[in-house]
Structure 1
């Protein structure tokens, strides 16, 4: 219920659809840089780590058939405000667009 309300109220929905290996590489870089620390963008007390469970989620669970069906549903229902981003260049362009507003 809460999820659906957030989708309805959102001005823009960003679907970050980066390749799996890019996501894994970035998670590895964050884990190396912030090992044992809490980044400002995650909950206080949660330390940065890269364990097998998270690797499995990045490579498989986050892209399961169920997850893909949910992304497709959101894109059909809220298509006018969904932006699918597949690489860093597109993300940077979207950021610049929002900073101007």
Structure 2
């Protein structure tokens, strides 16, 4: 486990798991949100984002958390482990609400500087529809991936057991 992807619905705890795993393993941590967003919630252009992502993927060791489905095939081609957080919808919504309360008006550690925590109807809708709209394609790509170990975790309890079993 030297090149690890962590994917799943917003609010499932991808960044939290990535941080815990990084602390436990010493693997460098890359948050895709930090690569994509600039201060003031300004998006990167695709070419810039892709170039920065490719530079990270070429490194010998890493943990990368985030979805950004357009780039999932290139990340799957480079990883040796995928941790897929397949949490229930309500658990993800609860996770986002807890995060909003914790970081309201502040920038999260896994987000680009100058992007204070916020929530809107569009984001809540994305989470609500994630299993229906995003999961089928993610599962299809994971099924086709023959070069990485796929670990599916379905609850925070499973995540905690997984972390406690590392090293």
TM bucket, shorter chain: 0.7 to 0.9
Q: Out of 72-81 and 38-47, give the one that drifted further.
A: 72-81
Check conservation: 2:81, 2:150, Cα contact below 8 A. Answer: yes
Out of 84, 88, 97, which is 1:19 matched to? 88
Asked which structure has the greater RCO (Cα within 8 Å, sep 6+), the reply is 1
Unpaired runs of 5+ residues, structure 2, are: 1-69
Q: Structure 2: how far apart are the matches of 1:55 and 1:21?
A: 11
Give the structure with the higher percent strand. 2
Give the drift of 1:2.
4.3
Q: State yes or no: 1:57 paired with 2:126.
A: yes
Unpaired runs of 5+ residues, structure 1, are: none
Which residue matches 1:94? Answer: 162
Q: Any residues of structure 2 matched to 1:1-101 within 5 Å, and which?
A: 2-60=71-129, 62-65=130-133, 67-78=134-145, 81-98=149-166, 100=167
Give the drift of 1:68.
2.4
Which residue matches 2:37? Answer: none
Check conservation: 2:104, 2:116, Cα contact below 8 A. Answer: yes
Deviations 1:36-87 (A, max 9, x none): 1001111211111121111111111x2234x222122122112651111100
Deviation beyond 6 Å, 4+ runs, structure 1: none
| CA pair 22-2 structure 1, distance change in 2 beyond 3 A | closer
Q: Structure 2: how far apart are the matches of 1:72 and 1:3?
A: 11
Q: Out of 75-84 and 24-33, give the one that drifted further.
A: 75-84
Give the structure with the higher percent helix. 1
Q: Out of 71-80 and 50-59, give the one that drifted further.
A: 71-80
